Structure 1
Amino acid sequence: MFKNIKPLSSSKGFTLIELLLSMVFGLIVLSGVIYVYLAVIVSSSETLKSTKLNTQLMTMMSIMVNDVRRAGFWGNPDALPSADNPFNVDNDTLLTIFSNATASVDENTNTDGYCLLFSYDKNGDGSVDAAGDVEYFGFRFSRSDGTVEMAVNSAQVPAITCSGGTWFPLSDPDLIEITSLTFNPAESACVNSSEPDGFDSASDADSTVDDVGEKDCYTVAPTAGHITVETREILITLTGRLKSDSEVTAKIKQTVRVRNDVVRVRA
């Protein structure tokens, strides 16, 4: 009845070597799992940091682009000529880029500026308001605290200086540090609608009479009475890094086409 039961002395278990090998293999597998887990955690952390920085930069870029795009807007209730637009007046309301507090950047040069001033008809009443609904605006890079600043109540800041007026930070200095903000007008263009007119312009380096190149009023200075139309395209470049981790950096660029062209009757 009990003939198939083996005595305890004949049962076999793991030897010490087998047990040690099993433990070693188990530790190797466990180490691999822990390594993969830590790698995923680190990768997720870096992704979250990068996403946070990019979100902040893109939000600021969106604000600047949408506002700059409005530069020169005029409600124009009296349907006056475009050349009479009070929001495109040189040294006052015209969109202007500055390389320092007072030096402006030429529209047709590949030169970066750190500050941009402009105006538009915010309330659509057709006139430039300097009190109440102030209609002078601007953005600039503050190197002292690494922020992007936005002009507020800037009736004191016509397009002749970037040092006056009231500014407040658009970026959070406790969260991110802005390392660079530039505005570049190199893609802007100016067309002289009065050219070619059958005469060789005095400022034209090409001696060819009635040169087609005279239509570019950046290259050839227009003469009195000529009508020019200037389109503005501004390349905005924004660079920043996280304040908590300076190794997390990002750089974004966007070109904004100002919707309102500058029409001038040259004096």
Structure 2
Amino acid sequence: MLNYGYTLTSLLISMSIGVSLLGAGATFAMNLSQKQLIVSQQLELQNHIKRVGLLISAELRRAGYDGKAEHRFISGLPRTSSPFYPAFSLGMSTGHLEGSCILFHYDKNHNGQLDELPRSEFLGFRLNNGAIESRVGAKDCSQTGWEDVTDSTYLRVNKFHIKGIQSSGVGALLSLEISAELTRAPDVNSQIHWPVVVRNN
């Protein structure tokens, strides 16, 4: 007969229920924090790829710009007389498909001449060894010496592809596609697929 307190059995049952609830709570908290980490990494990667895409898009929109185009037009010279024509050319970097490299130029100093110095007007982007690289000087798609735009210790670019969708007398419409994964967590990946209008084609 029990007059006061708890029996050993009831104490053990209540302790086992408490430990089970504590374990379930800890598992839930751990799963929640793991999912938050994955979502955070996904957003971070998406943000990074969007910034790279914005940089590339902004540069491509300038392709073919000629500071002396008005003078050439008034003089009756065709667009093909400009040193900035054609505005861009698509190619392939070593070991990749056509469209994994784009070369272009525009008149940064508005003098109507294609200059290599002081700031090179020979520009481009390509995919190489899991990174997007920026053209240095007048190098072509297969030459070495390009500079990394993306950091391959942080992310690995699996796809960088540009293709022409439409071309007319008033410009060209390009499709820019980038997909990448985090180097430290390859299951976290993201991609963008954007149109880019090049008006100076």
Report the TM-score when normalising by structure 1: 0.66
**CA distance in structure 2 between the aligned counterparts of 1:100 and 1:12, rounded to whole angstroms:** 84
**CA distance in structure 2 between the aligned counterparts of 1:244 and 1:78, rounded to whole angstroms:** 51
Q: Which amino acid aligns with 1:64?
A: I
Alignment match, 1:198 = none
**CA distance in structure 1 between the aligned counterparts of 2:122 and 2:185, rounded to whole angstroms:** 36
Give RMSD over aligned pairs. Answer: 2.3
Deviation at 1:133, TM superposition (A): 2.5
**CA distance in structure 2 between the aligned counterparts of 1:10 and 1:78, rounded to whole angstroms:** 104
* Among 104, 122, 138, the residue aligned to 1:118: 104
Q: Which amino acid aligns with 1:233?
A: L
Give structure 2 stretches of 5+ with no counterpart.
Answer: none
Q: 1:25 to 1:60 in 2, by over 3 A?
A: same
Runs of 4+ in 1 over 3 A off after TM superposition: none
Alignment match, 1:178 = 157
Deviation at 1:72, TM superposition (A): 0.9
Q: 1:119 to 1:58 in 2, by over 3 A?
A: same
Aligned residues: 194
Deviation at 1:184, TM superposition (A): 1.2
**CA distance in structure 2 between the aligned counterparts of 1:43 and 1:54, rounded to whole angstroms:** 16
**CA distance in structure 2 between the aligned counterparts of 1:10 and 1:242, rounded to whole angstroms:** 63
Alignment match, 2:37 = 45
Report the TM-score when normalising by structure 2: 0.86
- What SS does structure 2 have at the residue aligned with 1:234? strand
* Among 84, 88, 91, the residue aligned to 2:85: 88
**CA distance in structure 1 between the aligned counterparts of 2:119 and 2:60, rounded to whole angstroms:** 18
Alignment match, 2:119 = 133
Percent identity of equivalent pairs: 23
Q: Residue 147 in 1 paired to residue 144 in 2?
A: no
Deviation at 1:254, TM superposition (A): 1.1
Q: 1:134 to 1:165 in 2, by over 3 A?
A: farther
- What SS does structure 1 have at the residue aligned with 2:72? coil
Contact 1:188 1:230 in 2 (8 A): no
Q: Residue 247 in 1 paired to residue 190 in 2?
A: no
- Whichever structure has more helix as a proportion of its residues is 2
Alignment match, 1:69 = 61
Deviation at 1:38, TM superposition (A): 0.6
Give per-residue Cα distances to partners, 1:190-227, cap 9 Å, x unaligned. 3xxxxxxxxxxxxxxxxxxxxxxxxxxxxxxxxxxxxx
Contact 2:133 2:148 in 1 (8 A): yes
- Aligned ranges for residues 136-215 of structure 1 at < 5 Å? 136-142=122-128, 145-152=129-136, 154=137, 156-157=138-139, 161-164=140-143, 166-185=145-164, 187-190=165-168
Alignment match, 1:33 = 25
**CA distance in structure 2 between the aligned counterparts of 1:140 and 1:188, rounded to whole angstroms:** 21
Contact 1:151 1:165 in 2 (8 A): no
Alignment match, 1:235 = 175
Give per-residue Cα distances to partners, 1:89-126, cap 9 Å, x unaligned. 4xxxx30111456xxxxxxxxx9511000000111122
Contact 1:242 1:248 in 2 (8 A): yes
